[in-house]
Amino acid sequence: MQMLQEAICEKGTVLPNGVLKVNSFLNHQIDTGLMIEIGKEFASRFSEYKIDKVITIESSGIAPSFFAAHSLDVPLVFARKKKSLTLKDNVYTSEVFSFTKQESSEITVAKEFIKENERVLIIDDFLANGQAAQGLINVVKQAGAIVAGIGIVIEKSFQPGRKLLEDKGYHVESLARIDSLSDGKITFLQEDAGITI
């Protein structure tokens, strides 16, 4: 997705530890216009998948999935990373390890918000090792619902997440696929028009 790649090139920064920081439009400050286009793009790519619900993880997943759910005319559910007092029982949970934060957290979705046989589109901001997506898949499967597809804003294609998910039979659509962040340089996979900065 051209508009997203341009935002990554212009506003993203690569930290010494290989983390791609996109705080200025996705993870902390939000460019709502770009998020709306991202949402429409997800909706377009999954328009034939008979989606009943979009599920993401708080907090960074909410903005890019908001308009996807709206365009597909289905509810959006965000998994919580920690149990709250108003969400004690009747929840599906799964453990997720974050390599960025170097910690495990438990994600939680209230049972009432995923129904058996619902076709669920999972959306997340990043795909690297696939831990967050796998956590959401676990939650969807516990409910007896179906993972109809996985939409990712930024895929680190040099990490194993996509292969892990595809090997399990899931259909993954990533709006930007990054081939390398070596030496602080962002290189996209050739299929994505091959912008290099």
Residue stretches of the annotated binding site for 5-phospho-alpha-D-ribose 1-diphosphate: 128-132
Site for its own copies in 58-87 (CB under 8 A): 58-59, 62-63, 66-67, 69-70, 75-78, 80, 84-87
- C-alpha 67/C-alpha 156 separation (Å) is 23
Q: Pattern of binders to its own copies over 14-53, x per CB under 8 A?
A: -x---x-x-xx--xxxxxxx-xx-----------------
Say whether residue 100 binds its own copies (CB under 8 A): yes
Distance of CA 8 to the CA centre of its chain: 16
Say whether residue 106 binds its own copies (CB under 8 A): no
**Helices 2-11, 32-45: inter-axial angle, 10-degree rounding:** 140
In order, the DSSP letters of 152-178 are EEEEETTSTHHHHHHHTT--EEEEEEE
Q: CB of 32 within 8 A of CB of 3?
A: no
- Nearest CA-CA partner of 66 in 91, 98, 33: 33
Among 16, 90, 102, 117, contact with its own copies (rule: CB under 8 A): 102
Q: Which residues bind its own copies (CB under 8 A)?
A: 15, 19, 21, 23-24, 27-33, 35-36, 58-59, 62-63, 66-67, 69-70, 75-78, 80, 84-87, 100-102, 109-110, 112-113
